[in-house]
Amino acid sequence: MIHVSNFRPVKRVLDCVRILAEVRHEVDAELVMVGDGPDRGPAETLARELGIDRHIDFLGKQDHVERLFPQAHVLLMPSELEAFGLAALEAMACSTVPVATDCGGVPELITPGLDGFLEPVGDVKAQARRVTELMTDEPLFDRMADAARRTAETRFCSDKIIPKYEQIYIETINK
């Protein structure tokens, strides 16, 4: 699993640690935490308290997350608010399946059960169940990873999105 954020409270980084703890009851999973911020220390402390610190790598800020996403099966994005969910889109482009929260603009990106999963904010057990499903059901993971990649390529590629923005700008200028 991978989590990428600025480690602010709104990103619910501690939920990632709790999700890993739940998943490890069923699967020999590891978590890579990418980024830095105020909740990194508390996340490291919680990992030690739960006895899973040896299963989490805190990498700090990274310049090339596109090299890390393909190494993970699942992106954890348990945020309480996301304007769009760029990390999810980047992960999907690398065939990494997002398990995210049903908030903000994320539901516009992820089609639950097709190319990712959406669960309620703070529902660590539900998010952990989704991760466990993906890590124990290879056909499900393969199907969803392929669909995630297709979503990124077909709905959100720059060749399709930029002309839409340009059209909006032209329409706004001509008003």
pLDDT in tens, 33-62: 999 999 999 999 999 999 999 999 999 999
**pLDDT at residue 90 greater than cutoff 90:** yes
pLDDT value at position 161? 77
pTM comes to 0.90
Domain boundaries 2-173, corresponding CATH code: 3.40.50.2000
Alpha carbons 169 and 113: distance in angstroms, whole number: 35
Residue 111: pLDDT band (50, 70, 90) is: very high
**pLDDT at residue 6 greater than cutoff 80:** yes
